[in-house]
Structure formats: C-alpha cells, structure tokens
Structure 1
C-alpha cells in the first residue's frame, strides 16, 4: 500500500517546488502520540491497582481476556482504504502477539469512511465521538493517514474510559497495517498502541528517573530504540544491562518487536480487571481463533458533505455526519 505524504503549504509554494499535496516526501519513523498522564493521576491509578490486588484479584481466576474489535477505516478515495484481507491480517497479528499472554481478539465489524479532511488531519479526536461504538462492547480501532502529524499511532488509557466515553480507543496510521510501509508493515504498531489501551507505558517512560513504566521486570532505559540491530546497543540505566530492544512497548522496527515481560502481562490483567472487566471471560468460553467479519459485516461510507451513502448488510441507506 502506497502512502501519500500531505504537505501543509500554500498552493503557490507547492506549485513552485513541483510537489503534489499527497506525494511521498519522507520515510516513516516510529512516533507514538500517547501523552504521559500527570503525576497525580499516575499516583491515583497505582493506588487503585494496589487496592485491586488486595481485594479483587480473585475475579481474574480462570479468566481470559477476549476483546472484540470494531475497525473504523478512514480513507481518502483509494488512499488508506485498507483491504478486508489486510484488516483480517491485522487481527491475526494481534492474536499472534498477545494470545500467548492470555489475550484474544475477535473482529466484530469494519466501517469505511471516505473523508479526505479526516484522513490528512494530524489527529482524529474530533471525529471519534461521531464514529465510536460503546467502549464496553469493543475496542474502537481507527485507521487514518495522520499525515499532518507523522504519528504512527496513539491510544487512550484504560483508567480514562469512563470519562472519555466514545473517545476511548486506538488510532493507527494506515501505513502500519500488514503489507503497509516498511519497516512498520507487520502490524506491530497496533500491538504497541493496544498495549497502551491495556495500561502499559513505554519501556523508556521517565528515562532513568521516577517510577519508569511501573513494571519491575522491564529494564529501565533513557531513550527509545530504533531500527532492528542484532542486539541492543543502548546501555540501560543500571549501567550493566541493555535496553529491551524486542519489547512491544519500545520503538524498534516491527520485525524486532516480539515480546512482553511477565510483569507487563500481570499489569495488563490487573488493568483489565479494574478498568475493563467487561472483556474478562471464563477460560473455557474464550475463542481459540480470530473470527473475522463476513462480507455483509462491512460498511462503506462514502461521498461528500454531511450525508454519506452506507452500504452494508445487504441494504443501502444514508449516514448523516454533522460537523
């Protein structure tokens, strides 16, 4: 899938330098838009998790995490219109990466929205409230160009779900789906952002000071890793070990991201138990595969203005979008 780079410049400037507003201008780099919560919020969350460990851990016994995904694919014509095959492949990647840790993803639905303004925007928070589904029923997973920001993705944290409502969810650059743009074309940006949605920080959170990522068994390091060297070249904060190059919550290339630590998985389970308990199911009831939406489960929302055509489930109607 080709990626067009939106260049924010006046028409005269674009014409003068001979660049089309959607031409490829530069390669992607790992850049996550998740913001660190204020210290008082972090302390409150850690206090709530401590109380959960003391009084409510039994609710996790014999439970697995099963998360239905509702994909919202924002595109500009053919640009960013991810195929049903690649969407299914993205679900498979999430299962390959996280099912070994007790997390299973199913594909609930896919909607397509043809809107160039949304596609090229730096972030899409202004449309999530219009498109999002009940966050207690699914993970709202958005794909867009994010062209004005250069972000690969961003996500919300679980403790904000109640306040955010329909704004809760994950956003990924369309180029990061399987068969997208190298070296982020294996679907691991989704794994990284879903990690945030499940309560994880970056492994380099706080650098060599503060409480780091709040996980004891991840190695603290000062800066993110980039690329995919055979081994980490960045010395960790303890001066003895090296940064966790292969951790999903680092910034390495997709082919290098392969694992979570036991502490990170324990934190995810506690986060789900405390903030997203609707995704806990009895172990015997958890699916072992990743069923995907049938053809009738896809909606194509196209057109210009505030009234767009909807095709899906064998029927056709109108979908009103108000700015």
Structure 2
C-alpha cells in the first residue's frame, strides 16, 4: 500500500495480531497497532524482530483499550483497513458471563463506530468457531459459514457466547448504521503454530499439559486446527479481496485430530520429549465427573462431544487460501514450547 494510508491491527501484543503485523510489514504495508499500555510497545517490537523485521519505520503504536473510548479516533485515523483481532482480557473466570460478554460486544462496536466515522474501507474481524459450530448437531454434514451457534445453547461457555454475540452485533451494526463501511469476519478453530515470544497462548497450555506429563491420561477431545501463520494470511487476503466484502470465512487446515492422536504424533516425531507423554486415554464420563471439582477438567468438559467437522472450501475458492497441515501447526507449537523453556521435563531418547 502506498501513500499515507494505514492498516490498523488491534491488540498488537496478541498471538494472532503479532503474526498479522509481521506479514503486513513484510508485504510493505504501513501499520498501526493498539496496545493497552505503551509500556508494552517493546514486547511487540521484540516479537517482530524474532520474525525477521529489521526496520520499524512503518509501524506506529497507539494506547487504546476496548473498554474505553480513549484514542480510538486517533487509532483509525488515515486507515484504509482495520484488522480487529483483539479480545478483552480476562485474568480469571468471570463470576457472571456478562463480565465477558459486555466488553466483547461493546469493544467490537467501539472499533466499528470509530472505523466508520474515520472513513475506513473495511474491517476484518476475528470471531471464532464458537460463533459457528456449537449448535450443529448433525455429524454427517460439514459445518460451513452458513452455520450459527445459538447463544443460548446449553453448556456454551461464556467465552464462546461472547464471541457469537459480538459477531452478531457487528453484522447488525453494519446493516443498520455502517454506512459505507465493509465488514468481513474470520472464524478460526483451535490456533496453533510458532510463537514469536515466550508469552504462550491458551492452546499452548493444552499442548504443554500433554507434553510434560501433567495429563496422566489423555481426554478423547477432538480438535480442528489452524496454523497462526495461515490465519494471519487469511486475514490479509480477506482485507484485500473485493469478493470478501460481507462474507464469513472459516479458518481451519482441514479435518480433525483427537488429543490422543496428537500425543501419538508428538511421541513419534519428537522423541526427545516423547517419554513424558502418556499413552492412556481418559473416558468422557471421567472428565465430566472430574469437572465437578477440578478447574482444568471443568474447562475441558464443554469441549467434549462437539462436532468439529467443518469445511475450509470457501476460503480456498474465494481467496485462494492454502493452509498448512494440522500436523505442521502442532509440531511448530511444540517446538515453541521447547524453544522458550515451557516444557519442564525434557526426556532424552
């Protein structure tokens, strides 16, 4: 992009946002990014340096928080596009789901209103699979972008409910008062791949528990996976392609893999840590009982039995997207866990 137009990426310290910034800079875009405190600017610069960026003349930082109106007008000023990747941060499970839902919905609307008022052409919003697939009960048909999760679905986590309500609010805003602003939404499944820093995202914690032997037996959890590098690429394709206007795109490598299969993959491909990985599987009913008194089991229980068989055909056909395999994404995450010393026990073969 030439001239004085920018791409804003919200939440620059995040796992996905850092890869979006990296690829935008590599493509020659001028970028802005929001951070909740300018004290965290160096974190972002360090991640970009890890990714190979040597010049920072094309990046600007703005202190802005999704829970406040402050500085959003400055953040979107002179921007042609916004990649709205940030989510409100929760350091503890909320006592009431509204603690998670309200900031997600209000933060999304805050960004959209600022973008509209500044004459931004398009916002690409990161939603998630939880907004698409958690009410899809027929395992014989693939989940597509036409599917929506019912926000009142029994057992739906506050996080996934916040995502579906924030996405619904975004589409409603565009229809009612978006004026010329365009919206495209990306709905990723479980996000893995290489980290640009030692601050590891939630998916890494699950993998870490498998790799370091914390999980004495492995739940039969089925996952769909996307590599963070491909997810960033999909955001940029959704930003650039005229045909992406008003569309949703599921982001997944294709197919599913169970946690015991992941354990087997890591044992086979990474013998230096394989000895610490359990070969035992855990029946679903045991996880559900454990969830009554164990926080980790409580976090896993709602994920059991979810149909995750989804299609990535739309992103491939409309945007020419070609994702890596789920195995490559998982092995890259495992490599980051070792690189940043997050695996406590490294067993020699």
| TM-score range for the pair, normalised by the shorter chain length | under 0.3
TM-score (normalizing by structure 2):
0.26
